[in-house]
A and B are shown apart, each in its own frame.
Chain A
Amino acid sequence: MVTVTIDGREIRVPERTTILDAAHEAGIEIPTLCYLKDVNEIGACRVCVVEVEGIDQLVASCNNCALDGMVVHTDTPKVRQARKVNTELLLSQHDSECTSCVRSGNCSLQSFANDLGLVGLPYEKHLPDIEWDQNFPLIRNNDKCINCLRCIQICDRVQDCHVWDLANRAAHTSVNVIGGLPIDSVACALCGQCITHCPTGALRERDDTDRVWEALEDPDITTIVQIAPSVRTAWGDHWGMSNKEATVERLVACLRPMGFDYIINTDFSADLTIMEEGTELLERLKEGPHDHPMFTSCCPGWVRYVKSHYPELVDDVSTSKSPQQMFGAIIKSYYAEKLGVDPHKIFSISIMPCVAKKSECALPTMNDACGDPDVDVVLTVREVDRMIRSEHIDPRRLEDEPFDEPLGEGTGAGIIFGATGGVMEAALRTASFLVTGSAPETDVFKDVRGLDGWKEATYNLAGTPLRVAVVSGLANAGRLCEAILAGSVSYDFVEVMACPGGCVGGGGQPIHDGQERQRLLGDVLYGLDRVAKYRNSYENPAITTVYAEYLGEPLSKRAEELLHTNQHAWIMPGEE
């Protein structure tokens, strides 16, 4: 332990505690901009500087340790001036048109500058004005970039994708695609972690809300919207609603008055995914030992990653489509028939915690139901929130409303798809039933839960050991792939989620700068699972019905056509 004095308060902290953390312990908040705990502790923005007695120059508090006997002042004229000038310097290269920025009101630079009480800038503004492909699902606007370098670090260290780099040097330093290459020519998984870790509006998803407004306004079009499991954990954040208030049924209540014709629950197609993928796994196990495990395929970020980084493993990725795309294919076939609507007149929308889903729905392979895209538009949770706000709907004043039937029913197994380990646990519950004919014990597979980046377990499936692993975060996925290829680990079934913690930590979720909320949000899903009417996918009555009325059985010819895909039918950069 060391003793330090910060702003006159003496405090004891463990050795190697940063000045920033020590100050926090003492109840003193030091502002930061570039800092991201454990990921970007680089002291670049220089707004977290403090005065340390005995040293003339200021010290970055975010990456320097509190040392025994150190006397620190966080609020002196020297510190205040440095913070102010450095902020003014950042603003001299920042497009401060906050009124037309998606991050207005949720921007660390904006709130910090406001807190400083700036009233005008002494420096002339110079914006880099760098071009960007506005059709790509991920949009970078360097006029708003403050070179905090977080996106580079997240992409390199957490996601192993190496999309971003310092594209220029010295006074021309800017963060951009590595080597100045076009974004669609590099192996971007579209996980969106750079967006959710950007302190400003320099990174965002492509805004597709206008296409949805157009469809809603068209009287000839039937709009059908599906809502992914994780959406319910965070959609109400903007209104400060608790998880108890911001239920998915309340979101349904928001969407109805906006004109969505049918609002359905992706939990249903998560259950459908389990039926298909679980059966696929059991078939594969019957074939005898494989060199590699079967990988889940529901995360499009992972699919993009594995195709570009480990093309030799693509054959081992399940052919099952993601729940979003299964639902899309069912909407424009079975559901259209049921509703008596021409599928070409259906506009299929999905609300996802994800950016990669925007590219997934646009793949040339995702049009199996009627030839049109099975899902027309994907909205992130942030986009939906913006739509609700633009309609001046106050969710706090609405009552919960149910999904539209018959495809509004989901199970607890479908709900936990949003948390790391959830797909695995859901699959194991159903696989166990399919093999043994009896329902699994409650929560018998819960070892695969939790935020460890790489979890493993072995289960006894009717006498056969099933070795499984669950990874989230693409750097973890990369390590696992390396280990599998090197032969140092061996599994039968592996779940991969691109985003750390799974979809609840998705790149399309509402942004809380500096907070990692995966645990909190994952717990919400497990809580909902615990009280769900049905907890296993095979119990879902809607699933029973769709197989009885339309699909026959898992892996039937029709199921293969609608619900499975050829992962080789499109190419990622680096794949060839």
Chain B
Amino acid sequence: MMEWIVSILLIAGALFMLVAAIGVIKLSDVYMRMHAITKAASLGAILMLAAVLLWHPQWIVGIEALMVVIFVIFTAPIGTHMIARVAHRMKVPKGDGYIMDELQDELDRQQKEGEETL
């Protein structure tokens, strides 16, 4: 029974990572690719860590798996946020289908009112 659960978790994690890679190829600009990578790859890593922890139920494995999960969950959004901000600042061309760009609106407003931009 445990073998089935661990196998399903492992395959699900690998498939989520495959979905992230397909998203990297198919999607059309930087921001959409960030959307694909950050969520799908983090969830895949968490599922595979759960599989390892269920197959080796020891304290040290649990602590280290928890450390990896915490690092992935807390650091992936911060790093992606900084990259997205730099990409917006570098004026990387956007794909089709965007209906709003709040950072650009804010920068335009600050420039119009003469405030110092961040």
Do A and B interact with each other, yes or no?
A: no
